[in-house]
Structure 1
Amino acid sequence: MLLPDGYSDIPHGKIAAVVTHLEMTARPPLRDDPPGVWRLRKVDSPALDWYRDLYRRVGEAWLWFTRTGLDDADLASRIHAPGVELYGLVVDGQDEGLLELDFSVGGECQLLYFGVTAKFIGTGAARFLMNRALEIAWARDVSRVWVHTCTFDHPAAVAFYQRSGFRAFKRQIEVADDPRLNGKLPRDAARHVPVIG
């Protein structure tokens, strides 16, 4: 169904975001690594508590909710799935960034989740993390790397991905239950998105 031009009402208790899909089909030149003491570590068979904590610390401010509220079996099946790789961005011994790559579709890599905690936004940590993500992805036999972001994410997210070599190829509207009203996220999460319930 195509949305008509103009405004479309969203029912109370729902949220709606514009989702932009971006891709690259050739290995781009990497931007220079920024100065900083960061390290990437691969997390094999990640513990569910570790994942939930980092996912929350990176994504709660941007209304990441897809993985919140999943039971242990469902979450484990996703993050331990064949072809899925998880990495933590380590700063002073603490994981402060999340990189989740999915190689399960032949010939491509999806950046499932990518981000740093609030205190490292604007420090260059995300550029360091993206450089490592692209190195890992393009070291495999892939012809496409892709990601999607939405209007709930950081306002500079699309521009960041474009500076990293991605180009936009599709736009969608995502409508979902507001996770702050059903208990999946705290009521004060993502203050830039008003709660209408």
Structure 2
Amino acid sequence: MIVPDGYSDVPNGKIAAVVTHLEMTTPPARRDDPPGAWSLRKVDAPAPNWYRDLYRRVGEEWLWFSRARMTDTELAAIIHAPGIEICALAVDGRDEGLLELDFRQPGQCELVYFGVTAGLIGTGAARFLMNRALELAWSRDVRRVWVHTCTFDHPSAVAFYQRSGFRPFRRQIEIADDPRLDGMAPRDAAKHVPIIE
């Protein structure tokens, strides 16, 4: 379906975001790590409750909801699948950032989930995490690394990915049930996205 020029109504109870897909087809120039006491920890076979907690703390403000809607069985089938790598950004012994890489498609790596908790935004932690993400992605036999972000994410997300070496190649509109209306997210999450019931 082609969305016509002009305004298009979004039904009450739904949210709509513009999704930007970005990619790189060669490893970018290495960027120095910012100063900070962060480390990256690979998490083999993460427990669904651990994953959900970190996913919520990183993504709730940006309306990450797809994994929150899954049962433990559905979630485990993805995060335990061969070709999926999950890492946590650790700070003072606490997991405060999420990195999920998907190598299941030959020659490609998708940064499925990438982000840090609210208290780390603007500290350089995301730059540290991206440096590790790109090292891990390009350490495999890949020809393409890609990610997508949307207008619900941090306003600087697209610029951050572009500074990291990604270039935009596709734009879509995503419409979904508002997760704040069915209890998947708190009602006060994502104040930058109004609830319309």
Shorter chain as denominator, the TM-score bin is over 0.9
SS in 2 for 1:55: helix
Alignment of 1:6-25 (within 5 A): 6-25=6-25
Alignment of 1:39-118 (within 5 A): 39-118=39-118
Q: Deviations over 1:35-86 (max 9, x none)?
A: 0000000000101111000000000000000101311100100111110000
Q: Deviations over 1:103-127 (max 9, x none)?
A: 0000000000000000000000000
Across the aligned residues of Structure 1 and Structure 2, the Cα RMSD in angstroms comes to: 0.5
Please state how far the C-alpha of 1:183 moved relative to its aligned partner.
1.3
Please state how far the C-alpha of 1:30 moved relative to its aligned partner.
2.0
Letter of the structure 2 residue corresponding to residue 145 of structure 1: V
Q: Which runs of 5+ in 1 are unaligned?
A: none
Letter of the structure 2 residue corresponding to residue 83 of structure 1: G
Q: Deviations over 1:121-173 (max 9, x none)?
A: 00000000000000000000000000000000000000000000000000000
Alignment partner, residue 191 of structure 2: 191
Quick check: 1:33 aligned with 2:33?
Answer: yes
SS in 1 for 2:104: coil
Alignment partner, residue 181 of structure 1: 181
- How many Å separate the matches in 1 of 2:71 and 2:3? 34
Alignment partner, residue 156 of structure 1: 156
- How many Å separate the matches in 2 of 1:7 and 1:192? 20
Q: How much identity, in percent, do the aligned residues show? A: 75
Q: Which runs of 5+ in 2 are unaligned?
A: none
